Each structure stands twice: as structure tokens, then as C-alpha cells.
Structure 1
Amino acid sequence: MGKPPPPIPPAGLLVLNKPAGVTSRAAVNIVQGAARDAGWGRRVKVGHAGTLDPIATGVLVVCVGKATRLIDRVQAQPKTYEAGFLLHTSSPSLDVEHEPVPVPNPPSLSRDQIDAALPAFLGEIDQTPPAFSAVKVGGRRAYKLAREGEEVTIESKRVRVDRLEVTGYDGERLGLRIECGSGFYVRSLGRDLAKALGTEAVMESLLRSRIGGFDLDGAVTPDDVTAESLPGLLSLSFERFGLTTLTCDDAQAGDLRGGRYAQIPFQDAPGEPGECGVRDKVGRPVCLAERDRDGTLRPKVTFPLPTVE
């Protein structure tokens, strides 16, 4: 007799409120450990959408099972950050991972000067990631090279900033609220803004409060995730991706999960042609599909029926 097929876990996402001092990978490992303890198999896939620095807190979206195929979609969503910077200091990592060093003879900056500098960092801008980052340089992570004392040269890239505003300033500490696209480094913003003001800065706090439709409302801590609680924490809401959700019958669900086309006429389920999410009659995710003008659904990402709960 051959080996039994590996279990198929539920496809779902959960939003962690990552505490400071925990790496994103460590948080994912906690979820993966809970999934294994729940009997979902040793090779159950678990991944996160968008790394948070160890000192950062807030929204970390973790994807489980076939929902890991949605990681890129989550990462592409706009993000909101609340950041705190200590002006007139420097550190190799651009944050307090390294002890901040005071800048000699710093300028005295007014709130008006800071406000006047912000528009240059709005819209599409070129930004160079920090040397202490996960960007790959010559096949290795930049932060590993930097920690070994090697010179790290990283090319700038195009990023997007939709909103940038001061949330607090006392002459030494600066608070910013940032709404931005993917690939944006808040530490680099602090570096570049400070440079434009004739000084330096390090990031001393960072909260990610939102990624697209995922925010801190209902988020759980890593300590809340156990083998017993995990099934109830997972969900896959297509609406959080801005998609219309359709409900199909059992025959349609079988076809779509098998990669075959199905049809849901617009008179039965109003909506617009384009990408949509599909659920079965009991609410389980079936697929992401492209809906043609005649109501034909062409599956793009499928979610098989779980064999474990």
C-alpha cells in the first residue's frame, strides 16, 4: 500500500498584531507550529505578506494552506504606518537596532520647515532601501552583508507615497503618518527627509495599522494562536481584496476547484465582468475567477476542499 495523501488544510488568512522584539519569521513559525499541532501535516504551507522589522508592531497578514498563493496580492495593497523618528541622531541600521549616535551641531528645525519639506516625498519617488534590509545583493541578503561589515550598495527603486503628515513634533522627536504602496521603507524616508532638513534621523518606533482591507480590528497576538484556536481564526474574505463574491452550487464548485469553467448568469448574480471571488453554498472559498461578459467563470486561483478541520 502507498502512503496516504497529505492532509489538505483550510485555506485562510489571519491578521496578527505583531509585538516588538519578534521577527516576522518567528511569528509565522508560531502559526505553522499550531497548524502542525492541529494535525494539518508537517509540510503545511504558511507565509506572511510583508515583512515588519523586529522593532515594528502591527498588522502582519499570515496566509495558510493554498491561501499562500495570495501573498503577492496582499503585499501589493496600500499600507498605513505610524512612525516615530529621533532627529539629530544616526545609526547604521537607520533605527534603534544600533545605538543612536548624536549628530554634532544639529540645526534648529521649526514645524513649518518640516511641513515644507514633506511634499517632495509625495507621489512616485525614487528610494534607496537601507543597507540593513532584506533586499538581495549578489544573491545574499543586504542585512547579512552589513552585519559582516561589508560595503553594501543597493540600487534605488520607484515607490509611491499617497499621504504624508506630521502627527507630532517636539524639536527632537518627529511623528509621521504614512500611506504608501508596496516596497516602501519607512527607515529610508526618515533618512531622506532628515537629509533634506540638513540633519540625520533614526526610526525609534513603527506601527503598521493597515494593509489594504486588513487592519488591527480583530487582529490577534501570536500568543492567541494555538492548535485549538487556529481553525476559528482563519478566514478568506474576498471583499478585503475589493472583489465581488459569488456563491455557486456543488456542481459548479466541483468544476471550478478542478480548474474547469462554470457559468453564473448575471441575472442570477448581479455584478460586473472581471475578477471575482467564489464561495460554495456553506461559505468555503472555491476560487478566484475571471468572469466574462456572458457570466462564464474562468478559475485563476483554486482552493481545494480541506480534508482536515
Structure 2
Amino acid sequence: MRILITGGAGTLGSGLTERYLVADHDVLVIDNFATGHRGSLPDSHPRLKVVTGSVADKDLVDRAFAEFAPTHVIHSAAAYKDPDDWQEDTRTNVEGTINVAKAAQSANVRRFVNFHTALGYGRPDRVPVPVDAPARPFTSYGISKQAGESYIAMSGLPFVSLRLANVTGPRLAIGPIPTFYTRLKAGKSCFCSKTVRDFIDLEDFFTVMDLILEDGAPTGVYNVSTGTGHTIKEIFDLVAAHVGVDLAEPVPEVEPGADDVASMVLDPSHTIATFGWQPRYSFEETIQRMLAWYDEHGVIAIYSHLKAPA
């Protein structure tokens, strides 16, 4: 395969890049390194080309497609780190997605895989959230990502859009796990939001991606998750035990902010039935594997799509 990966220096993109290079596929990465890191990719590899720039730059995207001639596209690029920068979210997540989709049409790609966020569901009526639940995003990130998915759906491309749970693996730089790990190691205070999330191991994500990229595999929209929810306090307790911190008083727990969702757990049953896929790692195994990676490599950076609490 000749695989073009947007956002290829992020957690998911860089992990997939490594996987496909080992399998002797050709990979082209487009990344502006706003949240991804150049060090997450090999310095040089005969099958890897890295293009520095944003998917919002139509000329750059068109040149990359024309020169590389991809057979497959994985659209992982996303803007999310400033909840108030609606313009940047729109440029990247909507206009950038349109640029990538249009270039993929011209290239007649065999598969187009889009990474979406569970936040596209907004505040769901029930959890776990089925894949046919209505899209009701209410944050800039969720709204713009949902719009991007909608444009892909109308493109006529052979596409798969994955509504993702919290994928946890090497180089993870967003969410409570790196936050708690870094702060507790530094002796700093923490708090937990009273929220529930589902976490899935990167290796389990890889296995479903392998099935999705097969020629003739089903298209459409799918949830990728374990289907089980866990509180942020459960994350904190596992991290605190791992780093050997015993608090004199319980960690403060706060109500979710106006831009947050109390419970977001995705129902993967349609994905499991369609692809014959099953998550392998338990919640505890997933978190411990992540913490072991931080012990060896450290935390590069921490980002969040949420506003800081007042």
C-alpha cells in the first residue's frame, strides 16, 4: 500500500506509521507539528516521506497527493488544543478535511479512513452510545469534527469513519493519564472531574485498523471502544499507586465543566459484529501499559480540548 497519513506525528498517526513501515508499505505523513512531534517519526526511512504543513493548505495537500499517489488515506489531523479558537478548528477540521477528501477523490484512493471523536455525539441520551445515536456536538472541536465527517460521507469515497474512545498508547499527550502522571511525579496537586470515559489500548486499535484497510472491507461509520466506562478517579488511583503517592486527604472531585460530558462510553457492538473484532486488553492492563511506557520514555507534552476550570 501507499498510505498517506495526515496528522502522522500524533499518537495514532505515529503508531500507525511505525506499523506500516515495518510491514514495508510506503508512507507519506502530513503534519504541522502543532500537537504532534517530529521526534515521534523516524529521522529517515527509505519508505517514509514527511511533509511539514497544514491540511488547511490546499496547494500543499494537492501537491502531496499528486507526487505520492496514495492508494490509502488515513485522516488523523485535527485541531483541538484551544477550545476558543473556532477559526483554527474550522480551518483544520472542516476546510482541511474537505481538502484531503477532494484530493483523495482525484487520486481514486481505495480506502479513506477518518478519525472522529466521541464528542460528535454531544451529551448522549444513554450510554453506551450506539453508532446510530444522533450527532449533537456542542463544542468547537466536536462541531468541526462532525462537519468534517459529514463532508467525507457525501464525497462518494470508499470511506470508514471511526468514532474513537480514548485510545491509549505510546506518546499519548492528552487526557488524565499523562496529566496525573506528570503532576504526581512532580509532587503537585490534582483534581478529578466527576466523569466517566472508556479507554482502549492502542494495540486493540491497531487490530481493527488492519481489518478496516483490507480490500473489500465494509465501509461506513463505526465506534471503536471497549464499551466499558471508568471514572477519572479510577485513573487517578491507578496512577497514584503506580508512582507511589499516598495522599493524606482524598483527591478533590469536581463537577464536569460546561464544555464537558458527564458520561461518554461508546457501544462497539456494531464494529464487533461487522469485523469480527474483539478488544484484547482490560482497562487495568491498558493503563498499566501506558504508565510503563511513561516510565521509560517520559511525557512529551500535555494537551486538552477542554477549558481549564474556573
TM-score range for the pair, normalised by the shorter chain length: under 0.3
TM-score normalised by structure 2 residue count: 0.21
Per chain length, whose mean CA-contact separation is higher, i.e. which structure has more relative contact order (CA < 8 Å, sep 6+)? Answer: 1
Which structure features the higher share of strand residues? 1
Alignment TM-score, normalising by the size of structure 1: 0.21
Bigger Rg, which one: 1
